[in-house]
């Protein structure tokens, strides 16, 4: 009887892990690699946020523990609160836009009188297959102030003056919103269409017999039946908006002059542009905590985890 | 390769449907006309339907206009002022494929001289120079770095796929077919991460970068692949598990009755039957490495840029005309779009997002 055998036997006898749990070995490698690249960096990020790490100190192993100093600095910084405000404003406006666009397109491509609906739906979700960096660089071209900029060409066609989209604060913000809406509309349309298809025909017919017009039926029959799926989609997409990084980063680095830095962009730039790893880490953790609480509240209130709970 | 023949069959099916679509609609139109003539259908209804359909088509066209605009841009000549300020063109001003030639550049396999020493004799072998495309013939002198980015992307994406498949397939099988301690916890964790963890990548970037530098991994394409494989694990494991759940247990029971050992059941029943799921996971993991931008941009140096980072490096470089930029972007994105949309369709049957029963 070798040592190994007895070790195996001991493991097999232990109350926590039994011999039947051997399939666990098939799952562990994946779990281990996942945790090594996800959980470990999270812990390290927490550590960094309590130090004065900068490239000059960190890579020499000379970073110092500074306690909560980074959090104090960040939370008392006007720049941080500006970012927080802009981020929530972006969440509000972009989610509203996405829901409206998704609902509008959803109604169009499920319309009773529209022919070739399936074909249209197939075309409409094309942007889903495009890499994010492609879509966003293309939209940067659309809002470009150069001569080819599509947005300005439309303005000129309408007889209006060109706008320097990316160097004016609110115009840049508007450009972010439009791009975000275009990025997310296939997802919203898919959810909305499947919800619209589940709306009961009978209710519609009953309402029609009672003399309800199109808008009355939309308000009192369609909307209540699609409310839950659309709410679910908007909460997921709100989280995506909150974490938006690429659009501001590619468009104008969250500019002009740092006014439009969404939280994640702000943390990224503090760390990599201004070399303050500690503060950057603190910002990222605050952002993750905020979005975590937001999601948790929504999941609790909207009972969104119903489908997952019995896993 | 029955997966490929399946895919070919589906493609042929699609092509047939697409080819028959005009015929069908003509038939429809004829039927409607007859209806009007015989007074079964009122012309007003037909007009209303046509109008509403036209309106819907306009909405679709407007939504996809940016993509069309990029394509028009990519086929335009590379004048400094590409568009006159007169307005939007629906057709390239001076149609040319020159921008695409700039993107792809020469496709020439240079000739190699191989010398073999054979017992005192030396034999020289001269391989011929293979020229597939010589862009200088078309007047394109300098070319983009597309091929270098492409090679870098491949050397990142291929290890990603290999590593990810090695991690995902066993996990998915165990989660789908076996009971063990912590099973539901792992599954729950993976689903949770799939739903909300997407944006965590950028938030973790500072720690990731610091760790990679300290381990000496920054600028290592292999380490980047390992990271991509790790991020691909939760979603794809869950996807493949859901797919395997759809395979009837009775097949395995029959094999077990015949005395097949469990490894044989896996290789002879489970894996062949989940080939569509495997193909999908293959594509998704490949695209993870192929399309990721932020982490690659932070970790890699200029020499190792992958395609997305290469694309971004062209943004705002005023020496590069918009036509060339669009051509570059399209060459990068068009194949991905086709593959992705096809993969989406191919798994439709196997994937139901409600498939979370224990």
The domain limits of chain B are 3-97, 105-138, 145-351
Q: Which residue of B has its CA nearest to A250?
A: B312
Are both A41 and A154 inside the same structural domain?
no
CB distance A131–B308 less than 8 Å? yes
Percentage with pLDDT > 70 across chain A: 91
Domain of A183 in residue numbering reads as 68-300
Please give the Cα distance from B298 to B308 (Å, whole number): 12
Are both A113 and A182 inside the same structural domain?
yes
CB distance B53–A113 less than 8 Å? yes
Rounded to a whole number, what is the distance in Å from the CA of A123 to chain B's nearest CA? 8
Are both A19 and A158 inside the same structural domain?
no
Could you give the ipTM of this predicted complex? Answer: 0.84
Please give the Cα distance from B7 to A265 (Å, whole number): 42
Please give the Cα distance from A33 to B227 (Å, whole number): 8
Are both A134 and A275 inside the same structural domain?
yes
Reported as a single tens digit per residue, the pLDDT across B283-334 is 889 988 899 999 999 999 888 999 999 999 988 676 778 888 888 999 999 8
Are both A230 and A171 inside the same structural domain?
yes
Sequence-distant (≥ 6) Cβ neighbours of residue B84 within 8 angstroms: B93
Of A137, A147, A277, the CB nearest to B83: A147
For residue B114, what is the DSSP state? E
Helix axes A277-302, A24-49, angle to 10 degrees: 120
pTM of the model: 0.84
Of B188, B214, B290, the CB nearest to A59: B214
Please give the Cα distance from A265 to A248 (Å, whole number): 7
Residue A25: both structure tokens together: 């070995």
CB distance A23–B180 less than 8 Å? yes
Are both A44 and A162 inside the same structural domain?
no
Of B56, B192, B234, the CB nearest to A109: B56
Number of domains in chain A: 2
CB distance A24–B174 less than 8 Å? yes
Residue segments in chain B with a per-residue pLDDT below the cut of 50: 80-86, 349-358
Residue A56 forms part of a structural domain: no
Residue A149: both structure tokens together: 């900029």
Are both A253 and A126 inside the same structural domain?
yes
Residue A309 forms part of a structural domain: no
Q: Which residues in chain B are closer than 8 Å to A137, comparing Cβ atoms?
A: 311-312, 315, 325, 329
Angle at A216 between CA A214 and CA A220, to 5 degrees: 120
Please choose, from the candidates B100, B101, B107, B125, the residue with its C-alpha nearest in 3D space to the C-alpha of residue B115.
B125
Pairing of strands B121-126, B130-133: unpaired
Alpha-carbon Rg for chain A in angstroms? 26
CB distance A105–B63 less than 8 Å? yes
Please give the Cα distance from B257 to A157 (Å, whole number): 75
Would you call B278 helix, strand, or coil by DSSP? helix
CB distance A182–B205 less than 8 Å? no
Q: How many other C-beta atoms can be found within 10 angstroms of the C-beta atom of residue A209?
A: 8
Are both A196 and A243 inside the same structural domain?
yes
Are both A39 and A101 inside the same structural domain?
no
Q: Which residues in chain A are closer than 8 Å to B21, comparing Cβ atoms?
A: 119
Rounded to a whole number, what is the distance in Å from the CA of A165 to chain B's nearest CA? 14
Are both A81 and A36 inside the same structural domain?
no
Are both A83 and A6 inside the same structural domain?
no
Residue segments in chain A with a per-residue pLDDT below the cut of 70: 1-19, 302-311
Q: How many other C-beta atoms can be found within 10 angstroms of the C-beta atom of residue A60?
A: 8
Helix H or strand E segment including A247: helix A246-252
Q: Which residue of B has its CA nearest to A28?
A: B171
According to the CATH classification, is domain B145-351 in 3.40.1280.10? Answer: no
CB distance A142–B187 less than 8 Å? no
CB distance B170–A22 less than 8 Å? no
Reported as a single tens digit per residue, the pLDDT across A104-157 is 999 988 887 888 888 888 888 888 889 999 999 999 989 988 777 888 888 888
Q: How many other C-beta atoms can be found within 10 angstroms of the C-beta atom of residue A192?
A: 25
Residue A58 forms part of a structural domain: no
- Tell me what pLDDT residue B347 has: 56
Are both A107 and A212 inside the same structural domain?
yes
């Amino acid at each position: 009887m070798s040592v190994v055998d007895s070790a195996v036997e001991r493991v097999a006898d232990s109350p926590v892990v039994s011999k039947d749990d051997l399939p666990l070995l098939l799952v562990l490698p994946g779990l281990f690699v996942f945790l090594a690249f996800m959980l470990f960096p999270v812990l390290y990020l927490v550590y960094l946020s309590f130090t004065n790490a900068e490239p000059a100190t960190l890579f020499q192993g000379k970073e110092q523990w500074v306690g909560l100093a980074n959090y104090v600095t960040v939370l008392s910084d006007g720049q941080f609160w500006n970012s927080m405000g802009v981020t929530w404003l972006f969440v509000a406006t972009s989610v509203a836009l996405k829901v409206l666009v998704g609902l509008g397109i959803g109604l169009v491509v499920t319309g009773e009188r529209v022919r070739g609906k399936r074909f249209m739906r197939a075309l409409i979700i094309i942007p889903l297959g495009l890499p994010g960096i492609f879509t966003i660089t293309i939209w940067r071209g659309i809002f470009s102030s150069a001569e080819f900029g599509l947005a300005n060409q439309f303005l000129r066609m309408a007889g209006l003056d060109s706008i320097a989209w990316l160097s004016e604060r609110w115009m840049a913000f508007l450009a972010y919103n439009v791009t975000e809406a275009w990025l997310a509309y296939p997802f919203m349309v898919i959810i909305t269409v499947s919800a619209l298809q589940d709306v009961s025909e009978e209710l519609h017919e009953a309402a029609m017999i009672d003399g309800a017009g199109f808008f009355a039926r939309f308000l009192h029959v369609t909307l209540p039946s699609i409310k839950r799926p659309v709410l679910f989609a908007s909460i997921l997409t709100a989280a995506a908006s909150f974490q938006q990084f690429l659009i501001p980063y590619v468009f104008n680095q969250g500019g002009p002059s740092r006014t439009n830095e969404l939280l994640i962009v702000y943390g990224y730039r503090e760390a990599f542009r201004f070399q303050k790893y500690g503060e950057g880490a603190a910002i990222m953790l605050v952002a993750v905590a905020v979005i975590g609480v937001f999601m948790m509240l929504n999941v609790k209130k909207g009972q969104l985890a119903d489908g997952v709970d019995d896993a | 390769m029955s997966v490929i023949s399946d895919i070919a069959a589906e493609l042929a099916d699609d092509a047939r449907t697409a080819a028959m679509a005009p015929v069908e609609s003509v038939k429809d139109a004829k039927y409607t006309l007859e209806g009007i003539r015989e007074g079964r259908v009122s012309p007003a209804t037909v007009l209303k339907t046509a109008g509403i359909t036209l309106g819907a088509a306009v909405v679709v066209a407007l939504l996809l206009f940016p993509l069309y605009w990029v394509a028009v841009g990519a086929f335009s000549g590379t004048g400094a002022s590409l568009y006159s300020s007169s307005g939007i063109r629906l057709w390239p001003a001076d149609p040319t494929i020159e921008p695409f030639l700039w993107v792809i550049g020469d496709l020439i396999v240079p000739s190699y001289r191989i010398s073999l020493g054979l017992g005192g004799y030396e034999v020289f072998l001269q391989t011929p120079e293979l020229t597939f495309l010589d862009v200088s013939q078309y007047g394109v002198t300098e070319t983009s770095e597309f091929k270098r980015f492409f090679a870098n992307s491949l050397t990142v994406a291929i290890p990603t796929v290999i590593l990810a498949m090695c991690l995902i397939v066993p996990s998915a099988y165990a989660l789908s077919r076996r009971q063990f301690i912590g099973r539901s916890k792992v599954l729950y964790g993976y689903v949770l991460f799939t739903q909300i963890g997407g944006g965590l990548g950028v938030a973790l970037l500072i720690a990731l970068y610091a760790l990679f530098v300290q381990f000496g991994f920054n600028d290592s394409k292999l380490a980047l692949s390992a990271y991509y494989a790790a991020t691909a694990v939760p979603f794809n494991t869950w996807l493949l598990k859901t797919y395997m759940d759809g395979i009837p247990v009775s097949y395995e029971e029959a094999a077990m009755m015949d005395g097949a050992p469990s490894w044989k059941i896996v290789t002879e029943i489970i894996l062949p039957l989940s080939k569509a799921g495997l193909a999908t996971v293959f594509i998704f993991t490949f695209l993870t490495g192929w399309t990721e931008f932020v982490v690659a941009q932070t970790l890699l140096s200029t020499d190792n840029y992958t395609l997305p980072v290469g694309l971004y490096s062209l943004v705002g470089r005023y020496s590069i005309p918009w036509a060339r930029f669009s051509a570059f972007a399209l060459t990068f994105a068009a194949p991905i779009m086709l593959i992705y949309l096809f993969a989406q369709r191919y798994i439709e049957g196997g994937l139901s997002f409600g498939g979370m029963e224990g």
